[in-house]
Amino acid sequence: MNTFIEPERSQWESLVSRPTLDNLSLVDKVSAVLKAVKSEGDEAILRYTQEFDQVSLSEFSVSAEELEKAATLISTDLKNAIQIAASNIEAFHAKQSQDIPAMETQPGVSCWRKSVGIEKVGLYIPGGSAPLFSTILMLGIPAKLAGCKEVILCSPPDKEGNLHPAILFAARLVGITQVFKIGGVQAIGAMAFGTASVPKVYKIFGPGNQYVTCAKELIQRTGTAIDMPAGPSEVLVLADETANPVFVAADLLSQAEHGPDSQALLITTSKDLAISVEKEVQVQLDQLPRKDIAAKALQHSKLIVVKSMKEAIDLSNQYASEHLIISTNNPEEVASQIVNAGSIFLGNYSPESVGDYASGTNHTLPTNGYATAYSGVSLDSFVRKITFQKLTKEGLEGIAQTVVTMAEAEGLRAHAAAVTRRLKG
């Protein structure tokens, strides 16, 4: 990890920079795959699955029998853990449903708002070395709570042409029955454009590698919505001298093992803590099965010692972390001054891992500094908010002059006439 001691504010912009991904170099290749999927449909998907995943499939739709069998292929402990996590996630997200009841803004003028589930949504679940079955819970549960009528799921097959049974178990648990063995760019294209086998959706959710990220950005330009801009996963630990270096090192490594382009930062007011954490990171790193991946991520990760807690908070807000762990003697007070973060974990006993899996909050969060403007996935992500208004004749008479005056000032006489003609009738 790279260490910085009391950097000047003029250095902060470079300190909060993320590992650079040259997505521009991917555009031509990704565009070609999307174009082929759009024009050739299932045939292109099968061809790219053979090319990219090295598996030949005659059918990429997961059968009902495969979904049912998955429960027999994973341990009882894992099934119980998934069910507990699902229960907590459902409980937290169910409380997020809020409609604005009808109200009179002035006599005879009633306004209200109703949430309506997006009819068709697609979920992308990465596979490979770390099949993220937990993401199915994070996306599938709020989709069902929102009332989305059609939810489909795509995930890349293994070399035998199968999906990890935990992915299938989680999908069945949350009620997703349309599951496809499709990965990468071709999965995004299939959901965005639709094929003979894969339904077209209105919005696509889920993390992925740089190819998937690029594909999501490109299909957004063609009219398919996406959950949020994405980049590599990241964590920031904001700590003072009371933090436990063993815990902090574990938190940094839990993020680093995601992938070589992940980033882990420590911002602290204690030089001694920074020294202890750096040593502890090396000790714990050697014990990890994904040591090589984590080590690459640590090459662009940072330990930053600042002069005061105010500087630590200011730098944290400038970084706008996906995950923010506050390990101080007054975490709630520090958190009250945080304005840019995806999800915040308070105190020494709130590791990011809990939010990633089972506390109930959503782990699909804005990365790459987008926490300055974006929220993490929630029930709201799966609904549209439709506003309504209803006016009585008296209500229209009462607001008419306001509307006519404003419309005429903008030179929109037909707008004004739509009001005045009703009053003359």
Q: Annotation-wise, does 233 bind a ligand? A: yes
Q: From CA 186, how far away is CA 351, in angstroms rounded?
A: 35
Q: From CA 237, how far away is CA 243, in angstroms rounded?
A: 10
DSSP characters over 276-296: HHHHHHHHHHTT-TTHHHHHH
Do 24-104+117-226 and 231-375 come out as alike in CATH topology? Answer: yes
* Residue 413 CA: distances (Å) to CA of 87, 239, 274, 410: 55, 61, 67, 8
> What are the structure tokens assigned to 382, written together?
């799966």
Parallel, antiparallel, or unpaired: how do β-strands 203-205 and 120-124 relate?
parallel
Q: Annotation-wise, does 300 bind a ligand? A: no
| Domain ranges across the chain | 24-104+117-226, 231-375, 392-424
> What are the structure tokens assigned to 347, written together?
């105190």
pLDDT at 91: 96
CATH class of 231-375: alpha beta
pLDDT at 25: 77
Give SS3 for 11: helix
The radius of gyration of the chain from alpha carbons, rounded to an integer in Å, stands at 25
Q: From CA 34, how far away is CA 162, in angstroms rounded?
A: 23
Q: From CA 224, how far away is CA 252, in angstroms rounded?
A: 35
pLDDT at 287: 95
- Is 24-104+117-226 a domain of CATH 3.40.50.1980? yes
Torsion sign over Cα 82, 84, 89, 95? positive
371-392 burial, b at 16+ Cβ within 10 Å, e below that, comes to beebebbbbbbbbeeeeeeebe
Q: From CA 71, how far away is CA 255, in angstroms rounded?
A: 29
| Nearest partner of 238 among 169, 174, 173, 318, judged by Cα | 318
Q: Annotation-wise, does 211 bind a ligand? A: no
Q: How many CB atoms lie within 10 A of CB 287?
A: 8
pLDDT at 81: 96
In the block, tokens 């929220």 appear at: 375
Q: From CA 53, how far away is CA 245, in angstroms rounded?
A: 41
pLDDT at 23: 66
Q: Annotation-wise, does 356 bind a ligand? A: yes
Stretch (H or E) spanning 238: strand 234-239
43 is catalytic: no
**Four-point Cα dihedral 176, 177, 183, 188, nearest 10:** -70
Give SS3 for 91: helix
322 is catalytic: yes
Q: Annotation-wise, does 75 bind a ligand? A: no
Q: Annotation-wise, does 209 bind a ligand? A: yes
Q: Annotation-wise, does 164 bind a ligand? A: no
| Set 164, 323, 352, 363: catalytic member | 323
| Set 234, 311, 322, 352: catalytic member | 322
Length of the chain: 425
Please list the pLDDT of the chain residue by residue as tens digits (425 residues): 999 999 999 999 999 988 766 667 789 999 999 999 999 999 999 999 999 999 999 999 999 999 999 999 999 999 999 999 999 999 999 999 888 899 999 999 999 999 999 999 999 999 866 789 999 999 999 999 999 999 999 999 999 999 999 999 999 999 999 999 999 999 999 999 999 999 999 999 999 888 999 999 999 999 999 999 888 899 999 999 999 999 999 999 999 999 898 999 999 999 999 999 999 999 999 999 999 999 999 999 999 999 999 999 999 999 999 999 999 999 999 999 999 999 999 999 999 999 999 999 999 999 999 999 999 999 999 999 999 999 999 999 999 999 999 999 999 999 999 999 999 96
Long-range contacts of 286-293 (CB under 8 A, 24+ apart): 288/253, 288/257, 290/129, 290/257, 293/256, 293/257, 293/258, 293/259, 293/260
Q: How many CB atoms lie within 10 A of CB 342?
A: 25
pLDDT at 231: 81
Q: Annotation-wise, does 59 bind a ligand? A: no
| Nearest partner of 207 among 216, 220, 198, 218, judged by Cα | 216
